[in-house]
Structure 1
Amino acid sequence: MSASAETFDYLAVFFSIILGLAVTEILQGFRRLLIKRDRLVLYLPALLWAAILLAMQAQAWWAMFGLREVTEWTFGMYAVVLMQTILLYMVSGLALPEMEGDAELDMQAAYFAQVRPFFLLMLGVVAVSVLKDVVIRGELPDSANFAFHGGFAALATIAAMTRSAWYHRICAMFAAVFVVVYIVTLFDHIG
């Protein structure tokens, strides 16, 4: 095994732990919803964003395998990948509501209570994803990847600024399709 592969394996452990915790946040949120389903008023955008985050986490883990080809790592390179995983974890913690006690929970109210930090963190995920290519590869993502990032950033920016329920419904549905197309188009094969 080459020294660069060993370096990546060493770094990937920490990235994987944080991504694993992010997945756990979402899965525990879905578990909470199942347990307290009789005291819950569902809200589709919150459920869609939780599913979108699971897809984003899987894609991040999948894409991270391409970093094994990086032969020399700097602390800055390590820090930008670490920041991406941390932001994914943080946004995952806001995706689905905490449910304490026996009171009924309106998921729409819980969603809008977290809407600004959720989408600002999501915007951070997108920005750091672009920054990662600049720091590690020395260039912006290719044009298709950059266009997807720009589109997602636009959705997140508007979502952070508006409390319009119809926008959030449309945004979540569009983002779900958008993320699936992004993954299938650009990350179908590992490597």
Structure 2
Amino acid sequence: MSEFEYLAVFVSIIFGISVTHILRGIIRSIYRGEIDHTHFVLTAFLFFVLILNWWVGFSWVEQEVWSFDLFIVIVIWSVSHYLAAITLYPPLSAGIEHPFEFRRNWFLWAFFGLGLADISQAIARGAVFTPRAYLPFVLHYMILSMLAIYIKRPWFYRVIAWYFLMSMLIWSFVVRRFLA
């Protein structure tokens, strides 16, 4: 087993658990009649972020020389995705008694941290400007997350959620394919 394969198994497990967690959470919320519109849109958004970044993780296959530093960056990057998933749907024993409006800032902070981890991973891979719009794209998500934390208006959360989802779809299916 190569070093990449060894790490890819770990990353795949973390991403797989993250996807499973949000799918279980959305089904639980629908079943209980507790889903709200903004929460659902943010779930769809995070689902696409997870799938896209799981795919991006494969780009490490070209790495020939591995170090513990790279290993830690990739581990933190993958775990940050799970942290974002867990803030959308906390375990039944913690936080579920509060509506999503109460927990929304946890997700936004986790997503901000995910942005930092994603930039760190891109720097380590030497691809922080590949495609050229990557860094501004991630930074604008981080800025919008901070704005949503401080503005605290339901209509703003809804607009941000839809913007996140639509821009991620455009980024995934247009920008990365045709402009990279």
Name the TM-score, length of structure 2 as normaliser.
0.88
User: Residues 98 and 44 from structure 1, CA distance in 2 versus in 1: closer, same or farther, beyond 3 angstroms?
Assistant: farther
RMSD, aligned CA? 2.2
State the 1:187 CA deviation. 3.6
- Contact in 1 for aligned 2:84/2:110 (Cα 8 Å): yes
Structure 1 residue 144 corresponds to structure 2 residue 133: yes
In structure 2, the residue matched to 1:31 is 27
Moved over 4 A (4+): 97-100
Equivalences for residues 116-131 of structure 1 within 5 A: 116-131=105-120
Identity of aligned residues (%): 21
Q: CA deviation at 1:33?
A: 1.9
Q: How does 1:12-161 map to 2 (within 5 A)?
A: 12-37=8-33, 40=34, 42-96=35-89, 110-137=99-126, 140-142=128-130, 143-161=132-150
Query: Once the 2 structures are TM-superposed, how far is the Cα of residue 91 of structure 1 from its aligned partner?
Result: 1.1
Structure 2 counterpart of 1:81, one-letter code: I
Match of 2:5 among 1, 9, 19: 9
Unmatched 5+ stretches in structure 2: none
Residue aligning to 2:170: 181
Aligned to 2:128, the other structure's residue is in SS state coil
Instruction: Name which one, 1 or 2, has greater alpha-carbon Rg.
Output: 1
Deviation for aligned residue 1:164: 0.7
Partner of 1:167 in structure 2? 156
**Does the CA contact (< 8 Å) of 2:108 and 2:145 recur in 1?**
yes
Instruction: Report the 3-state secondary structure (helix = DSSP H, G, I; strand = E; otherwise coil) of the residue aligned with 1:89.
Output: helix
8 A contact 2:87–2:110 mirrored in 1: no
> So what's the TM-score if we normalise by structure 1?
0.83
CA distance in 2, matches of 1:74, 1:98: 34
